[in-house]
Chain A
Amino acid sequence: MTTIERPAYKVIGTRPIRPDGVEKVTGKAQYAADARPQGVVFAKILRSPHAHARILSVDTSEAERHPGVLAIITAADFPQAEDKIEDLGEGAVNLRELSDNILASEKVLYRGHAIAAVAAASPHEAEAAVQKIRVEYEVLTPVMNVLDAMREDAPLLSETRHTKMMGGQQSDKPSNIAAYNQFKTGDIEAAFAESDLVVEREFTTAMVHQGYIEPQSSTASWNADGTITIWTSTQGAFVVRAQVADVLRVPVARVKVIPLEIGGGFGGKIPIYLDPVAALLSKKSGRPVKLSMNRTDVFEGTGPTSGTVITVKAGAKGGRLHAVQATMRYEAGAYPGSPVGAGAMTMLAPYELENIEVHTYDVVVNKPKTSAYRAPGSPAAAFAMESVVDELARTLKIDPLQFRINTASKEGTKQVTGVPFARIGNEEVLQTAINHPHYTAPIEGPYRGRGVASGYWFNGGMQSSVVVAVNPDGTVNLVEGSTDIGGTRASLAMQLAETLAIPYEAIRPIVADTDSIGHNDVTGGSRTTFASGMAVYEAGKDVIREMSSRAAKLWSVGPDDVVYEDGTFRCLKDSTKEFTFRELAAQGARTGGPIAGKASLVARGAGGAFATHIVDVEVDPGTGKTQILRYTAVQDVGTAIHPAYVEGQIQGGVVQGIGWALNEEFIYDEQGRMLNSSFLDYRMPTSLDVPPIDAVIVEVPNPGHPYGVRGVGEVPIVPPLAAIANAVADATGHRFTQLPLSPRRLIEELDGAE
């Protein structure tokens, strides 16, 4: 671990056991599909077999007569949704499109698009009744990839969609290009002209899925008093509440969302799919309704991340990166909103560059609407950029990490948006990587190669609200509202323990429902340990202020005459007077009532995170299989609150990236039917496919956070695609520009190259 200027902490940096751990290893933890309110009934959804079709009619009469059926709904049962933009934290949605994505009204825009839902006494009866719903379609030609969708003569997903451009302009003709943007600085043509070497290539990545193991599940009860209770699997209970209230046109305060344990999300559990459907079915049936997806529903009906086509032209001069021109085309899926903007803003972040020109296209296609996936937009962009950087360095016979060091961005470097970086750890990460024993070890043998790549993620801030209650026995309840996916109950309790100078074990953190705490934005963008951590720190300071005033009251001195050091309140006027935290906690009732602190804030000062990865591979030229031999991920995390959970985030992100690089892709036929909507055919890495992942933590504290936290979860998925492609290029002498690097692709391209 490389650490720069860090104070001595007592709790931060230790590795305690997570508060939810025992429940999870004993099978007692309750996830969404485990919720069983009294009288619950089961629902199933009818999904479109076509990728693109007009719905002419939906006839539910036969299904209604099926025994055991309690309620059926279609889009006609939803209130007319407004064209209103709701910010979900990791991307915004238009509510009319959101509503249409939950249940299609006029058109189905992808195979698996939901059309109707049935509630029945058992899931089997609901399934049988769904089969009896008759839908008449006018089947239309689907548009299945971004380049086809951008053509002038492409079939249109919507006849009323025009391209949105900067300055509020719109294209004259309707288009599948939902948005176009550009970023420019410097003189790109002159910069290319004066470059020592210019490389231009086009890169393609396939649509891939987050692949969380827990399918979406929601149970809703529309209660007699008009309130709605929802038990669901989500990255943000408050965002579910807001979206349900908007789609169903009910006041926010009448919707109570109870977040259960979440079985993975990675961005995919920010949008809602099931919650309003279960709620309306409950209203119609008078019973709580449980609606769970199966794995095929998850693949075909929830948001993966974009397939992309990215062209990068880059010039090097004097051993440095000198100019970059890029055209980035991202599939948004059925409705606008791909992460192409984030891709553009992250891809050049590792470099100090004066000549930039980037064009971005957000393009609709007949595939599921994309949603966030770990560092949304950044991995595909880094695949393109870092592959070209690798080619420049290797052609110029410069060490690829040294080339990056020569051009590394640092504090004050202007980002593509023009905003300069605050203190960042890019250089420290690169220096750690170039000196790492993995990188200095030789790599030998035929068809073996080594690759490196860098990546960046902003990390999020946004809104958090927490309450801290001090109990008379000195224990503390921490009430927070951020979904805990990767150990944030632990990382927040640790920050509170540090602030209050009490043991971690004295704090019991809970993730509360939406009735019980102020609004918290989604767990996404690597924001929770940073932003909710800041709220926890402020609430802890609030508690200390309150307790100091209680001590002052007992000692008959002013509040400024009390200090809190190392777990003891001391009187500055009389050195014989002191209280431990626990002693003073017991005095609540005598000194003015219960002791509590709170904080609600919009966290500013998020610190971006850089990572550089080193990977060794061996390619089997006979089978086309790429084996990962060794993997080292170096990352600046600011401060590692819980180093084991930080390592876990890094290792998990790397392995998702390995899957993206080598095997994962949505495979469609010409009619737009997904051919691999199971875990057997959508090939995610198993324990056998990967080596131990060496996570190397670099700590360059974020000056924008009281404990220097940056955020950890996203950036580890950014470099693997390019690092592996660069290693395969090193191993085979052939540069691959399309992902995944599946055995078939390797064999075809290597045979073609010979």
Chain B
Amino acid sequence: METRLNGVERDFLCEPRQSLLEVLRDELGLTGTKEGCNNGNCGACSVVLDGRIVNSCCVLAVEIEGRDLETIEGVARGDQLHPLQSAFLDEAALQCGICTPGFIMASKALLEREPDADEARIRHWLAGNLCRCTGYDKIVRAVRRAETAIEEMNV
């Protein structure tokens, strides 16, 4: 397969039965994408494929030929965190952290199309990502904080 992965051309071999999640973790060594349920219910494996948020457990690896894929490993620029990553830290929006990569990918996809999403919209958008530790309150606050930070950066 040939794909654009986190901005870099990348080719790899896989079996037809392997999911994108499995290939990312087991073949490409990108373990930041997490497995929580392997059937599309929890969102821990969220990645951005051609600008759309998808559950990588529900995508076959062979489907990404020629497409643009972004994972949590591509969100920070070197040691410069993305505003969402900083906001998750500042707002204490993670506890165990297993769902965090998925939430950051899902939130990033939202803010790229709706940079001023309100609380209700954020809660609706993130309903595909389960978090069992935080009760979501601080996650929603972190996304709102990131909106402000991104807006200030763009001024």
Contacts and interface: CB of A to CB of B under 8 A. Distances in A.
A315 interface: no
Interface stretch (A142-150, A593-601, A646-654): A646-654
Contact of A295 (B30, B36, B88): B36
Interface residues of A, number: 58
Nearest to B105: A27
B20 to A, nearest CB: 15
Given A25-B104, A263-B98, A651-B135, A684 B130 contact: yes
A680 B41 contact: yes
Contact of A652 (B32, B97, B98, B132): B132
A124 interface: yes
Interface residues of B, number: 56
Given A686-B127, A687-B139, A648 B95 contact: yes
B126 interface: yes
Contacts of B15: 124
Interface in B49-96: 71-73, 75-76, 81, 85, 88-92, 94-96
Interface string A9-31: 00000010110111011111111
A652 B126 CA distance: 16
A20 B135 contact: no
Contacts of B71: 27
A655 B135 contact: yes
Contact of A486 (B38, B72, B96, B126): B96
A256 B31 CA distance: 24
B92 A485 contact: no
A422 B137 CA distance: 33
A688 B136 CA distance: 9
A687 B136 contact: yes
Contacts of B90: 17
B123 interface: yes
A271 interface: no
B42 A693 contact: no
A33 B35 contact: yes
B31 A486 contact: no
Contacts of A20: 97
A685 B135 CA distance: 8
B112 to A, nearest CB: 18
Nearest to B84: A25
A487 interface: yes
B71 to A, nearest CB: 7
A645 interface: yes
Interface in A16-61: 17-18, 20-22, 24-31, 33-34, 36
Nearest to B98: A263
B39 A678 contact: yes
A211 interface: yes
In this complex, the member of A27, A266, A485, A692 whose beta carbon has the largest number of chain B beta carbons within 10 angstroms is A27
Interface string A294-308: 110000000000000
Interface string B15-29: 101000000010001
Contact of A690 (B39, B94, B133, B135): B135
Contacts of B126: 686-688
Nearest to B36: A213
A724 B106 CA distance: 31
B36 A24 contact: no
A25 B81 contact: yes
B145 interface: no
Contacts of A29: 97
A261 interface: yes
Contacts of A688: 123-124, 126-127
A28 B79 CA distance: 12
Nearest to A33: B35
A686 B103 CA distance: 12
Nearest to A658: B135
A295 B37 contact: yes
A31 B135 contact: no
A680 B137 contact: no
A701 interface: no
A652 B135 contact: yes
Contact of B31 (A30, A265, A679): A30
A215 interface: yes
A510 B19 CA distance: 35
A651 B37 contact: no
A653 B137 CA distance: 12
A27 B101 contact: yes
B138 A266 contact: no
A533 interface: no
Interface string A193-231: 000000000000000001111110000000000000000
Contacts of A25: 81, 85, 88-89, 94, 97, 100-101, 104
Contact of A124 (B17, B130, B131): B17
A15 to B, nearest CB: 7
B99 interface: yes
Contact of A26 (B76, B131, B134): B76
Interface of A: 15, 17-18, 20-22, 24-31, 33-34, 36, 124, 210-215, 261-266, 294-295, 485-487, 644-645, 647-649, 651-656, 678-680, 684-690, 692-693
Given A212-B132, A679-B39, A690-B136, 6 more contacts: A27-B31, A31-B34, A213-B99, A263-B34, A655-B134, A687-B126
24 contacts: A27-B30, A27-B33, A27-B75, A31-B98, A212-B96, A213-B98, A214-B96, A263-B98, A264-B95, A295-B37, A295-B42, A485-B95, A487-B95, A644-B138, A645-B95, A652-B133, A678-B39, A679-B37, A679-B39, A679-B41, A680-B41, A688-B123, A688-B126, A693-B135
Interface of B: 15, 17, 25, 29-39, 41-42, 44, 71-73, 75-76, 81, 85, 88-92, 94-101, 104, 122-124, 126-140
The 8 closest A-B pairs by CB, nearest first: A27-B32, A263-B98, A24-B97, A27-B72, A655-B135, A651-B135, A679-B41, A644-B92
